[in-house]
Structure 1
Amino acid sequence: MLDAICLFDESNPVTYSVFKFQKLSDGDIEKYRQALVCPACAGKAYYRKASKDGKAACFGSRYHQADCREFKPSLAKEREEQHAIEVNQLLVDSDAMIIDFSRQPSLNRASVNRRNQAQLAKNEHTQKPDLNSTSKPENKPAEEPVLNTGIEQAATEALELDGAQTADTEKRIAKEGLEKLLHSLMRGSELAESDLWVYTDEKYRWRAKNLFVNFADAEPTEAGSPRMYWGTISHVDKELLWLNPADSKDVGIPIDKIAEPLKLRFGLEDRRDFEGAAIILFGKCFWNKAKNRKIIQLWSNDINRIFISKPEDSE
């Protein structure tokens, strides 16, 4: 996209070309970037600054309407749409779903190169908790969910108590990773409105409609009860302390303790790679001390419980 409309002042919308927008002061860019929409379909848009390796600044959107003239089909979009189809079919075919937090992100991202993989392996031996471990770290709250190999049996037993047929339950319990779930939500699957039982561990289950929450609808929960929060990232601060969702201006996601592991795991080489990315995480929402900003904290800073999908440069 070469143009975007800024709705910072909704009574006076301003259309910016990407060339004009990148010449604004850093302060104005940070102020306006969360108020951008596509000029053709009004889908929420993002701004990506020019990269160090020569990629030009650009506007993009993860929310284009299918018939939008700015929408450019790609292999990545086709894959995301296929994920939405598969998840919608899962809702029809399954009695319950287990979220597999241990499933690794796809390795087809070119930016996740051998150097990053080697560094990640090194970090696994020097950082606590272990990034690839789903074991319970020290000092976790007592009610913290723990994913383990008994989850399928627990889900089966719970469904039997609900009156499901024993012969069918094993076949009707789906298991999916965060990547497919995020892509399906971004492409309009019915997951977030479904009554499907979703297990986040062997003990805790939720109706999908109560578990999956877009950042725009995030509210502090009673007793810090966790949810699966999802949406897109507008930008990250210079110190890599906070992710700022594009879907809500009063929500922040602290990443100061996991910034480097996040970059390595998802191929986020600089701040630009966060801009416009889709994200899903299991965490709790609460007010800051001033009660003017909602904070969504990744559960125990467990990097297995977050997934980030980078935008395409051509969007």
Structure 2
Amino acid sequence: MLDAICTLDKSQDEPYSVFKFQKLSRDEIEEYRQFLLCPVCRQKAFYRKASKDGKAACFGSRYHKLDCSEFKPSQAKLREEQDALEVNQQLVNSDALVIDFSKPATVKTAGDKQRAKSKKASSSKSTPPEKLACDVDEVAGSELSEGDPVIPQKRVATQGLEKLLNSLLRGSDLADSDLWVYTDEKYRWRAKNLFVNFADAEPTENGAPRMYWGTISHSDKSMTWLNPADCQDVGIPIDEFQKALFHQFAIKERRDIEGAGIIMFGKCFWNKGKTRKIIQLWGKDTKRMFISKSED
């Protein structure tokens, strides 16, 4: 996209070409980029600055309507649509869904490639999958009562973070579903209570975690904070695991994560001044976060 509109001034839309936008001051860009829309279908858009390797600055959107003239289906977009159909079908055909935090991505990340090499070099003896353990001192979803089945044995779907994120970005029914979703063997949630868009994030009682999702507008200069789109009062600190996260998803510069889709299992709480909501990755385990870089 070479053009976008800015809705910062509620009384009128301000049109910007990417050439005009990139000439704004750094502070203006950081402020205006949170209010960008596609000029055709008026879905939320993002700005990506020029890259170090010569890629031009551009606008983009992961929310174009299908009949939008700016919508150019790439292989990634077609894959996201297919993932949305698959997850919707699982909602219809399943009694429960188990989130597999260790399921590899369809598009190989740097972390996937490294794990594949390690697996090949290791013994061929099979080992049980790693169990996701929630912090015992914090409240999560509905804890199963004595006598309840750990996980129902019939019609149980399993899905990784990549397809769950893609389906949410493409408008699946997951975020409104009554389906039971298991984040581990002990805790289950109704999907509609578990999946929360960043724009709707609110601190939870006793720090109970949720699956937060949406897109990234931009990061700070040091790339230690991620700022979700559509919400100026929410931040995601990543400084304590930044190196591992960036290696896992091959992120080298700010441009790599501008407009990226993201889903994470974390908790939301206020900062000390109650001016900003912080979403902290649960256990600071990067396997509980997935980032889908934009191809726009």
Q: Would you say same fold, with TM above 0.5?
A: yes
* TM-superposed deviation, 1:243: 0.3
CA deviations 1:77-107 (Å, max 9, x no partner) are: 1110000000000011000000001112334
* TM-superposed deviation, 1:259: 1.2
More helix by share: 1
When residues 277 and 157 of structure 1 are mapped into structure 2, their CA distance, relative to the original with a 3 A threshold, is same
Q: Note the residue ranges of structure 2 that are not aligned, 5 or more in a row.
A: 119-128, 141-145
When residues 296 and 96 of structure 1 are mapped into structure 2, their CA distance, relative to the original with a 3 A threshold, is same
* TM-superposed deviation, 1:269: 1.7
Correspondence list, 1:117-266, <5 A:
117=114, 140-143=135-138, 157-158=149-150, 169-266=152-249
Give, in whole Å, the separation in 2 of the partners of 1:54 and 1:222. Answer: 47
Find out whether 1:280 has 2:272 as its counterpart: no
Give, in whole Å, the separation in 1 of the partners of 2:226 and 2:131. Answer: 24
SS at match of 1:300: helix
TM-score w.r.t. structure 1 length? 0.83
Aligned AA (1:182): L
TM-score w.r.t. structure 2 length? 0.88
Is contact 1:279–1:307 with CA below 8 Å preserved after alignment? yes
Is contact 1:231–1:247 with CA below 8 Å preserved after alignment? no
When residues 27 and 155 of structure 1 are mapped into structure 2, their CA distance, relative to the original with a 3 A threshold, is farther
The share of aligned pairs that are identical, in percent, is 64
When residues 94 and 156 of structure 1 are mapped into structure 2, their CA distance, relative to the original with a 3 A threshold, is farther
The answer for the alignment partner of 1:302 in structure 2 is 285
Aligned AA (1:40): V
CA deviations 1:111-148 (Å, max 9, x no partner) are: x499x849x97xxxxxxxxxx965669xx443477xxx
Give, in whole Å, the separation in 2 of the partners of 1:227 and 1:54. Answer: 39
Q: Note the residue ranges of structure 1 that are not aligned, 5 or more in a row.
A: 122-131, 146-153, 160-168
Give, in whole Å, the separation in 1 of the partners of 2:148 and 2:90. Answer: 17
The answer for the alignment partner of 2:34 in structure 1 is 34
Number of aligned pairs? Answer: 280
The answer for the alignment partner of 1:269 in structure 2 is 252
Is contact 1:155–1:199 with CA below 8 Å preserved after alignment? no
When residues 155 and 232 of structure 1 are mapped into structure 2, their CA distance, relative to the original with a 3 A threshold, is farther
* TM-superposed deviation, 1:108: 3.8
* TM-superposed deviation, 1:156: 8.3
Find out whether 1:77 has 2:69 as its counterpart: no
The answer for the alignment partner of 2:44 in structure 1 is 44
Give, in whole Å, the separation in 1 of the partners of 2:60 and 2:288. Answer: 27
Correspondence list, 1:52-63, <5 A:
52-63=52-63
When residues 155 and 306 of structure 1 are mapped into structure 2, their CA distance, relative to the original with a 3 A threshold, is farther
* TM-superposed deviation, 1:13: 2.0
The answer for the alignment partner of 1:148 in structure 2 is none
When residues 156 and 178 of structure 1 are mapped into structure 2, their CA distance, relative to the original with a 3 A threshold, is farther
Give, in whole Å, the separation in 1 of the partners of 2:188 and 2:130. Answer: 21
Give, in whole Å, the separation in 2 of the partners of 1:20 and 1:80. Answer: 31
Aligned AA (2:36): L
Give, in whole Å, the separation in 1 of the partners of 2:137 and 2:17. Answer: 52
Aligned AA (1:198): V
SS at match of 2:83: helix
Give, in whole Å, the separation in 2 of the partners of 1:113 and 1:283. Answer: 21
Is contact 2:138–2:207 with CA below 8 Å preserved after alignment? no
Aligned AA (1:223): N
CA deviations 1:169-223 (Å, max 9, x no partner) are: 5340111000000000000000000000000011100000000000111111011
When residues 113 and 212 of structure 1 are mapped into structure 2, their CA distance, relative to the original with a 3 A threshold, is closer
Find out whether 1:90 has 2:86 as its counterpart: no
Aligned AA (1:65): K
CA deviations 1:12-58 (Å, max 9, x no partner) are: 32100001101111111101101100000110000000001110000
Aligned AA (2:283): S
* TM-superposed deviation, 1:249: 1.1
Is contact 2:203–2:267 with CA below 8 Å preserved after alignment? yes
The answer for the alignment partner of 1:129 in structure 2 is none
The answer for the alignment partner of 1:18 in structure 2 is 18
Give, in whole Å, the separation in 1 of the partners of 2:19 and 2:8. Answer: 19
Aligned AA (1:37): L
Give, in whole Å, the separation in 1 of the partners of 2:54 and 2:130. Answer: 37
